[in-house]
Amino acid sequence: MATLRDFSGNDQAEVNHISGQPTARIEVELAETSQHELQLKLRQQSWAGGMGWFTQKTIIIDPEEVPELIRQLEQAAVSVKLTRSQAHHRTATSTPEPLNEAKIIKFPGNGPVRKSEPVPTEPVANEQGKMLIFKPRRPFSS
């Protein structure tokens, strides 16, 4: 925790940093406004060489909203842990199938299987914007 002058000119501001990555952090500041009210400022900051830390976004939160914010963050943390645990469990228990083997799924039914005729391949269109005429492989039956 550090004490520094906040943007409104107050001398007593408590500042903490939450680091997630070497070039990104969240700054949490509890400051008193000129009307002697407390406010919580969350700043998303990034690091740039030659420039140092700079603020991307600032969110101002009423201190009365902090308990609900904490509850929501704790709930999100539990969800993240659960999702990661389930993903880890899936990868640990399942054996990946070889990519070069194909599975053939038989179509349900007892009828005879017809061999399909090879479909002739023709270019779709030689020119852009040319209209294509539909040519059925077999005549339509009514």
Q: What is the pLDDT of residues 88-132, one digit of tens each?
A: 777 666 665 556 666 777 766 666 656 666 666 665 555 666 666
| pLDDT over 50 (residue 3) | no
| pLDDT over 90 (residue 55) | yes
- Of 31, 83, 101, the closest CA to residue 60 belongs to 31
State the chain's mean pLDDT as an integer: 75
E strand or H helix at 68, and its extent? helix 66-93
Name, in order, each residue with C-beta under 8 angstroms of 8's C-beta and a sequence gap of 6 or more: 31, 33, 34
Average pLDDT over residues 68-96: 82
Q: Which is more confidently placed, 122 or 84? A: 84
pLDDT in tens, 6-38: 444 544 567 777 777 888 998 988 888 888 888
pTM over 0.75: no
pLDDT value, residue 17: 76
Name, in order, each residue with C-beta under 8 angstroms of 125's C-beta and a sequence gap of 6 or more: 132
Distance CA 6, CA 14 (A): 9
| pLDDT over 60 (residue 87) | yes
